[in-house]
Chains A and B, each alone.
Chain A
Amino acid sequence: MSAEIAAPRSQRIDPKYNRANTSRGSFEMVAWLFMRLSGVALVVLIFGHLFTNLMVGGGVKAIDFGFVAGKWADPVWMFWDLAMLWLAMLHGTNGVRTIINDYAEKPATRVWLKGILYVATIVIIILGTLVIFTFDPCIAGNTIPACK
């Protein structure tokens, strides 16, 4: 018989106020604010990216290795892409973090899912940053004028 009813927040059921736990800081507030600000920044960054890649010049058909190499020769585009990578990754990671917090019911599931999420985020951010800064257009067989 399942007449036994589990209290949903047994850690907090207590007749006293549990107000002392204020030392945890304002991480959730900062995360909330970051979502709004990075969202606005990403709208500008992503649509700027799409416009220069797809609308200006030769359009989508002109995108090739040389096009990307040409863009990353310019520090403005390096930092544009870097900002886009970091903001998009952190914005997306925080979004998935809140989804995990909302939907994962067991603490162990939460820890595991968030662990996988954070590892994936760190790997992608480091890899992407390395690609942007260590990019060398002069690979074997490249015939663009700058490599001659």
Chain B
Amino acid sequence: MSTELPEPASKIELKPGVGGGGEIPQFNITLRVRRYLPETTADAYWEDFELTMYGTDRVLDALHKVKWDIDGSLSFRRSCAHGICGSDAMRINGRNRLACKTLLKDLDHSKPITVEAIKGLPLEKDLIVDMEPFFQSYREVMPFLVNKGHEPSAERYQSAEEHAKFEDTTKCILCAACTSSCPVFWTDGQYFGPAAIVNAHRFIFDSRDDAGDMRLEILNDKEGVWRCRTTFNCSEACPRGIQVTKAIAEVKQAILSRSI
């Protein structure tokens, strides 16, 4: 048996610059990060970093470049870096977004790109906030299946129509972009916040779940759904495109129709 293999027939010689495999565009950006180092300084301050980045880079890559090559003290959360874990929600150019889903080429390079921590939660360091109040209200809506019937031997059946009612709210990754974009939450930390209501919605409208009434009762609280002023900040901030304000409105209607 010969070790010499013939050239594959599919191989085509391309002239340089042909076929889309060209050089990735390069540009200079100013990354303006809101720093807060409780060990050394009393107040938060802005720090600028001049970086040369590529057209395929995201804001997260710019933060990595700063942390790995320039200033190792820069602190931020990120886990999967692919828009699924929900760790790196931050305020980029004044809007809540995931750093790992925001391409630098889509932002304006003529001005500094501002990056700060999400608002309304206690700031711990640089871009890291204490997420405990957020998860506390998440836990309060009981984000798990409650079923009083017998344990089925196979899966619990559900029609496509029944699933469609809450399909949108199953997409939540708990990044807190919605809750920390809500002006009501900024001034009133007691408000449950959009994310908790979205996750309650996911079970309230699930035909397999039996604790919908209990969740509606929880959200009928003084700090529940009626605090919502429908400013749509949450819908705009959601990196998964969940219609958050619509979900809150559906929960409001469910509480109303249950009470009347």
Q: For residues 43 through 100 of chain A, which have their beta carbon under 8 Å from a beta carbon of chain B?
A: 98
B117 to chain A, nearest CB (A): 12
B11 adjacent to chain A (CB < 8 Å): no
Interchain CB contact (< 8 A) of A102 among B43, B123, B133, B188:
B188
B137 to chain A, nearest CB (A): 8
Contact assessment for A33 and B256 in the assembled complex, using a CB-CB cutoff below 8 Å: yes
B121 adjacent to chain A (CB < 8 Å): yes
B56 adjacent to chain A (CB < 8 Å): no
Question: Which residues in A have their C-beta under 8 angstroms from that of B190?
Answer: 9, 11-12
Number of B residues with CB within 8 Å of any CB on chain A: 37
Contact assessment for A102 and B218 in the assembled complex, using a CB-CB cutoff below 8 Å: no
Closest to A19 in B: B218
B233 to chain A, nearest CB (A): 14
Closest to A6 in B: B122
Contact assessment for B187 and A103 in the assembled complex, using a CB-CB cutoff below 8 Å: yes
Question: Which residues in A have their C-beta under 8 angstroms from that of B218?
Answer: 19, 22
Stretch from B25-33, B92-100, B197-205, B219-227 contacting the other chain: B219-227
Contact assessment for B132 and A13 in the assembled complex, using a CB-CB cutoff below 8 Å: yes
A116 adjacent to chain B (CB < 8 Å): no
Stretch from A23-31, A117-125, A126-134, A137-145 contacting the other chain: A23-31
Contact assessment for A28 and B43 in the assembled complex, using a CB-CB cutoff below 8 Å: no
Question: Which residues in A have their C-beta under 8 angstroms from that of B220?
Answer: 22, 26, 28-29
Q: Mark B120-139, 1 if CB is under 8 A from A, else 0.
A: 11111000001011001101
Closest to B123 in A: A5
Contact assessment for A5 and B124 in the assembled complex, using a CB-CB cutoff below 8 Å: yes
Known: A9-B189, A32-B226, A103-B187. A18 touches B140 (CB 8 A): yes
Question: Which residues in B have their C-beta under 8 angstroms from that of A147?
Answer: none
Q: Mark B229-260, 1 if CB is under 8 A from A, else 0.
A: 10000000000000000000000100110010
Contact assessment for B139 and A102 in the assembled complex, using a CB-CB cutoff below 8 Å: no
- Measuring CB to CB, which residues of chain B are less than 8 angstroms from any residue of chain A? 38-39, 42-43, 120-124, 130, 132-133, 136-137, 139-140, 142, 183-184, 187-190, 214, 217-218, 220-222, 224, 226-227, 229, 252, 255-256, 259
- Measuring CB to CB, which residues of chain A are less than 8 angstroms from any residue of chain B? 1-3, 5-9, 11-14, 17-19, 21-22, 24, 26-29, 31-33, 98, 101-103, 105
**Which 9 A-B residue pairings sit nearest by Cβ, starting from the closest?**
A8-B189, A3-B38, A28-B226, A9-B189, A5-B122, A32-B226, A9-B190, A1-B42, A2-B42
